[in-house]
Amino acid sequence: MYAGKNRGAIVTLTANPSLDRTVELSGVLVRGAVQRAAGVHEEPGGKGVNVCRALAASSVPSVAVLPGDNADPVMQALRTTGIPHSNLPIGAPLRANLTLTEPDGTTTKVNLPGPELSAAVQESLLALTVDTCGGPEGADPASWLVLAGSLPPGVPADYYAVVAHALRARYAAAAPLLAIDSSGPPLLGALLHDAMPDLLKPNGEELAEVTGVATGDALEADPALAAGAAMTLVERGVGAVLATLGARGALLVTADGAWLATRPPVTPKSTVGAGDSSLAGYLLAQTEGRTPPECLRQAVAHGAAAASLPGTTVPALSQTDPGAVTVTTLELHPVPASATRRGPATATPKEQD
């Protein structure tokens, strides 16, 4: 997985994109009060779009695949910012999400559900995604496909698995590597229907959700336990698990080992999109042929830089400080029986509401 360099573009699928408006408050958010904004930012959003924005900031070739009409504000914003994209017109407006940030970095996010996608649109979006991974004529095929974020109404929870199987059926051994960054039914649906990503990027809560080990808070507080939980996914066929653990840093677990990355705290301005930037940093390093610990180091550096920027602003490579990140090797231990719980990890996913 890590040998050599993958030179094709990184393709992302954002099935539920948005226009992200971030309002910076001058004081603490007071429920029921009238407050003035200190600033406002507006960016094209959705996890896959954010990954492409972060990659583009560092001149890494990428293409964002998403539903949406040519005249939609999200597509207009992508054109304005110069983000390469391939969109599928759907005849309905995309959602707009609202984020409120307080001076200490506390973030409140309100996400709308997005437009419903019919079965025909889902099929067309699938075909567009798979076709885009082939690359333009004369160019190398994609190095990665990133399936990221929530699914809009009408889309079944196993949609990411359907995309994964279609991708591998089309390209076989030449298929791009697959990364999944989602939560809830789409994440469970992908894993329960054998999407088998080369990289899974959960946070502590999502890692607990898909493994049935402890709780998100417990995993964030105990990196060794989190590494053990992540290893259960690797044993099931996931190539690597990049888990963000809040203030405790992030860890990477593969069949070859486990590593924990930490860095001194940064002064946060907004945590929205920090995880997406972490994934972009990892992919940036991996496509350059870096070792797993180096990929983890760059992931944490990217995430920290994003948290220190306002709104959903993404950092360029030059704005990151990988030298401030400490990476240590973890010993893997079996997950204690007391940490295992019955939970959603074994449940049948429901269609996302």
pLDDT in tens, 162-205: 999 999 999 999 999 999 999 999 999 999 999 999 999 999 99
Give 71-75 contacts, CB < 8 A, sequence gap 24+.
73/19, 74/17, 74/18, 74/19, 74/44, 74/45, 74/49, 75/44
For residue 5, the model assigns a pLDDT of 44
- pLDDT tops 90 at residue 1: no
124 burial level (CB within 10 Å; 0-12, 13-18, 19+) = middle
Measure the CA–CA gap between 349 and 161, rounded to whole angstroms: 12
Given CA atoms 317, 227, 162, 155 in this order, what sign does their dihedral have?
negative
**Minimum mean pLDDT among 107-121, 134-148, 206-220: which range?**
134-148
Q: How far is CA 89 from CA 56, 68, 72, 249, in A?
A: 23, 5, 9, 39
- pLDDT of res. 138: 67
Give the C-alpha distances (Å, rounded to integers) separating 291 from 3, 174, 287. 9, 22, 10
Give residue for tokens 């990892």: 282
The mean pLDDT of the chain is: 91
Active site residue 276: yes
Integer Cα distance of 146 and 144 in angstroms: 6
User: What type of residue sits at position 26?
Assistant: S
Q: What is residue 136's predicted lDDT score, i.e. its pLDDT?
A: 82
Mean pLDDT for 298-308 is 92
Neighbours of 40 (CB within 10 A): 11
List the catalytic residue out of 72, 158, 198, 276: 276
Which residues are CB-contacts of 136 (< 8 A; sequence separation ≥ 6)?
none
pLDDT of residue 352: 39
Cα distance between residue 35 and residue 93, in whole Å: 29
Q: Are 45 and 83 in contact (CB under 8 A)?
A: no
pLDDT at 2 over 70: no
Per-residue pLDDT reduced to its tens digit, 252-286: 999 999 999 999 988 777 676 788 999 999 999 99
**Could you tell me which residues come within 8 angstroms of residue 18 by beta carbon, excluding any fewer than 6 positions away?**
44, 45, 46, 74, 94, 95, 96, 97, 111, 112, 114
- For 328, phi and psi rounded to 5 degrees? -125, 150
What is the spatial order of strands in the sheet that 37-45 belongs to? 37-45, 18-25, 95-101, 107-110
Q: Kindly report the pTM of this predicted structure.
A: 0.90
